[in-house]
Amino acid sequence: MRELEQGEDIREKGIEPERIQKILSKSGITSRRNAEKMILDGRVCVNDVPATLGQSARLGHDIITVDGVAVTDESEHVYLMLNKPCGYITSTSDDRGRKTVMELVAGAGVRVYPVGRLDINSAGLLLFTNDGDFANNVMHPSSGKQKTYEVDVSGDVRGAVKLLQQPIEIDSHTVLAVGVDLIKATDSGGIVRITIVEGRNRQVRKMCVACGVRVDRLKRISIDNLNLGDLKTGQWRHLTKEEVKSLG
């Protein structure tokens, strides 16, 4: 990066210092709230020096890295949806050598990041973007985004459906599904469609366990009006402008 010459005014060159959290959000890496945690965890550096909370820098002049990877200024926002298969973790990297969802969207041609997460044994709709504000709006519970899952379970599925329609306490929090539908019932289990808003860690799985059934398969099929549709497992596509607007 070029050093400013003596007497050269930063503002005249349009290089305005910004808080690190804002830079990471604008670059699509994470939300501002999560950026604070990343800084406190020592994952963010400015010119090879660990960043501090509240620090400002100039993207395009200072070298800002997250986990050793340089942050770049994306000139255009990109929005993708992936039909995630089981066996992949929702992370940009993994120190245990496990497969990550980033491998599946490597062909996008631009650096994007997963919006929220699906655990390694869960499948279905997963969003990616380099727009931090969009990601934060989709993930934050206050936005009221509804997420719908189809869950194959073993056990008394009819009894579980009745319990799932009531408030359930998990991890010292009371949660309530906004929609529960029995799709199929057999002597040994069935399929349930569950819609939630909160999105706590492994919430749907924990709700099912609390209601006495075992989760055999879990797939997210929609986020608000955005449906997985006929997108094949392991494939991704760009969102349309209308889809982005509906989620924004």
Catalytically active residues, by annotation: 119
How far does Cα 15 stand from its chain's mean position? 30
Distance CA 95, CA 67 (A): 12
Q: Name which of 219, 218, 214 is nearest 189 in CA terms.
A: 214
- CB distance 74 to 111 below 8 Å: yes
Distance CA 139, CA 172 (A): 21
> Residue 35 is encoded by which pair of tokens?
């950026």
Is residue 30 exposed (0-12), middle (13-18) or buried (19+ Cβ within 10 Å)?
A: buried
**What is the phi/psi pair of residue 161, to 5°?**
-60, -45
